[in-house]
Structure 1
């Protein structure tokens, strides 16, 4: 069997999986139907399943084969409030399809599919790949491959380190007109903190590409009552995780001081594990580039460009633990991420043909690495040199 015939054999099931997950549109940490479907389909094809995985109900690990090398495939399936406006239903189908093709062609070695919830950072399993990376899930994996829909074909990846937290101020309510002096205004502490954090942009180093995003989640219940509680969500990103850590600690210290000055008590909640910057593996990405080229696609090579990172992902945390290659699959032109336009383009009825191309390219690259020890050694050598 060759790659084309394997894709032809599994095409209908790949598209069916993608469409069902597209219709489920489950938010992160609640992807019960999506993960169940994927596990059942993989199990039908001879994969052994571990679920729950890493103490996450909608995470799983699926394995097929024995011995080495061991190829990891990253699978996402969480949606956003406006549906699959980031196209993770396509990532799920790509991972499933790639696993099926590689499975049908390997004579030795192992495939491990990682079912990873809540890449979008929603709920208790937010940033599951970062949790998996920290807990040693990728120990013994020789290399992994990931994919994401986009408005262009590309290989490689860059990502900003990202930390999200929630600040909740607890004060004391009282009548706003008759007895405000007996209250402690939690909203005042929040607003002052909001302004102070915003003013810290001047302290942030410009070469670290610092991004600060904030939104108020709770500002009180009535205008004639001193707000007893107030909360805001803060998202801070940087091209350097080392600088990000310093910046976050400075922000926490600042907000603690403001809260103390107003007399409120402060509760700080980390909303997800910190996402790291990305360690792209150029050799893997070049293999993906060449496979796309064989399909007549001139993909953009992100690794070789001076294009700055424009987002964050927990896949970056995986790239610090194991050599990681990445492919971006085109589903439209000029599509803003997380938009309704992106959601419409992510419908497999529209994106199905490009999905097959992405599966073909990734499968060929994975098989090439598994069958050629020289490439695998070069990939690992590049990865090891990054850590020195």
Structure 2
């Protein structure tokens, strides 16, 4: 077998995986509810001869599909959850399929499907060359709420991996040399005393006042935190009627920074804002951590290998696809598009880039956004690339992204990612010294700290919480 055979197999089965990605796109489901995608992927993997373990890490929509035996053990990380409020047709204008419904504005319909394609393609060829080792596809739920892989990591499902590969839909073909931020997702629940807001306001203690005072404190705190750190929040419960002093109110925070240690420090300061607000309003407050993801730790060895394999499979777009891309971009603020173009201007000015970018300027840079891939990257070496699945200027978590990730542009980027990962798997199984090199790099870069799950031991996946409630 040659690597050409792997590519030919993927080309022959391209329509099958396009249909899978489209099916998942047409049935978007939110975090921990991704039963449709999981069912499709498990069926395909089992039919291909993989052994499937469900409920990985205690999450109902997490699973592991495995083929082979012995070492090395290499994982492919997949995702499939959608985002709320991003329902959209494949159209360059805003056109919801379901009013306020979910949509794949981050391209996870593509992300997981490419991983499934990669492992099945390699499995089909492993026996022909007697390639030894174990390949796994990790079906990971709830990346959009930054906790699916953290629960899995806490349960040790990644501990025996020699390395792992993943990718993400983007607006260029490039290695992920940068680091994404660590992040904690936390809710603050305030409790007060209800009263008639007009007849007896003195008898009430407003939980909503406490939330608002906490938010004011956090907003002033922004001036005194490290550059690049982020504090976001939404009030999820502000009371029920203006004439009733709210006795319960909740605010949900995302706190991000370049490292987990910086997030730990910032979290303590935000907690002091909550405690101070409770004192000022004579209410009480308790906090609830929902997710806690590490920053990502890039691995140059694996990224470079993935880039090499990506370069062997040129990407082409039709005139119709370029026209669709232009129409989508016309709906976006030109200044936003211009800023996005500046980031890759040194490499290309194409709206749909087909060049392969290894941007050395991004090494050591922490960028906005977070992912629970970070936890895995501190357990084992992880290689990651992005491919062109949308035109430059389209922002993730937007309706424009949903439209592109359901189009032929998105599917072409997905097939390139599948080939890149499958060929890299082949290289790693054929030449174990590549894994040794990745491990040596990992040992040096990860030596700064020992991985310990950020998510507390008493926090359970939502499905386990539901089971306890019903019991």
The answer to whether the superposition gives a TM-score over 0.5 is yes
Give the 3 Å change call, closer, same or farther, for CA 94–338 of structure 1 in structure 2.
Answer: same
Given candidates 218, 223, 241, the residue that maps to 1:202 is 223
Alignment of 1:13-24 (within 5 A): 13-24=16-27
Q: CA deviation digits over 1:129-171, x for unaligned, max 9?
A: 1122222111211110111101111112420111111111111
Instruction: Give the C-alpha shift of residue 302 in structure 1.
Output: 4.9
Distance 2:262 2:366 in 1: 17
Q: Does 1:78 align with 2:136?
A: no
- 1:258 maps to 277
**How many equivalent pairs are there?**
381
Q: Cα offset for 1:53?
A: 1.5
Gaps of 5+ in 1: none
- String of CA shifts for 1:305-354, please: whole Å, max 9, x gaps: 26541210000110000000001111122111111110010015442223
Task: Give the alignment partner of residue 115 of structure 1, picking from 132, 139, 162.
Answer: 139
**SS of aligned partner of 1:120:** helix
Deviation at 1:56, TM superposition (A): 0.8
TM-score (normalizing by structure 2):
0.78
Tell me if the contact between 1:292 and 1:298 (Cα under 8 Å) persists in the aligned partners. Answer: no
1:332 matched residue in structure 2: 390
What is the TM-score normalised by the length of structure 1?
A: 0.94
Give runs of aligned pairs for residues 1-388 of structure 1, distance below 5 A.
Answer: 1=1, 2-81=5-84, 82=86, 83-106=103-126, 107-121=131-145, 127-156=147-176, 157-206=178-227, 209-272=228-291, 274-296=292-314, 297-302=354-359, 304-305=361-362, 308-333=366-391, 334-388=393-447
Is the CA contact (8 Å cut-off) linking 2:169 and 2:414 kept in structure 1? no
**Secondary structure at 1:104's aligned position in 2?**
helix
Cα offset, 1:182, TM superposition: 0.6
Query: Any runs of at least 4 consecutive aligned residues in structure 1 with deviations exceeding 6 A, and if so which?
Result: none
Task: Say whether the 8 Å CA contact 1:184–1:264 is kept in structure 2.
Answer: yes
Structure 2 spans left out of the alignment, 5+ residues? 87-102, 315-353, 448-471
Aligned-residue offset at 1:6: 1.2
CA distance in 2, matches of 1:194, 1:354: 41
Residue 289 of structure 1, CA deviation: 1.3
Structure 2 CA distance for aligned equivalents of residues 31 and 374 of structure 1 = 37
CA contact (8 A) 2:389 2:412 kept: no
Q: Distance in 1 between matches of 2:263 and 2:376?
A: 18
Tell me which moved more, 215-224 or 78-87: 215-224
Task: Tell whether the 8 Å contact from 1:275 to 1:313 is kept in structure 2 after alignment.
Answer: yes
Verify the 8 A CA contact 1:158 1:302 in the aligned structure 2: no
Query: Judging changes above 3 Å, is the alpha-carbon distance between structure 1 residues 36 and 303 closer, same or farther for their aligned structure 2 residues?
Result: farther
Measured on the aligned residues, the alpha-carbon RMSD in Å equals 1.5
- Aligned equivalents of 1:281 and 1:303: distance in 2? 13
Once the two structures are superposed, what CA deviation does each residue of 1:230-256 show, in whole Å capped at 9, x if it has no partner? 111111100021111011022113312
Distance 1:348 1:42 in 2: 24
- Secondary structure at the aligned position of 1:221 is classed as coil
Could you tell me whether the CA contact under 8 Å between 1:282 and 1:303 is conserved in 2? Answer: no
Instruction: Point out the more displaced range, 126-135 or 28-37.
Output: 126-135
Q: Is the 8 A contact 1:61 1:112 kept in 2?
A: yes
Tell me whether 51-60 or 8-17 shows the greater mean CA deviation. Answer: 8-17
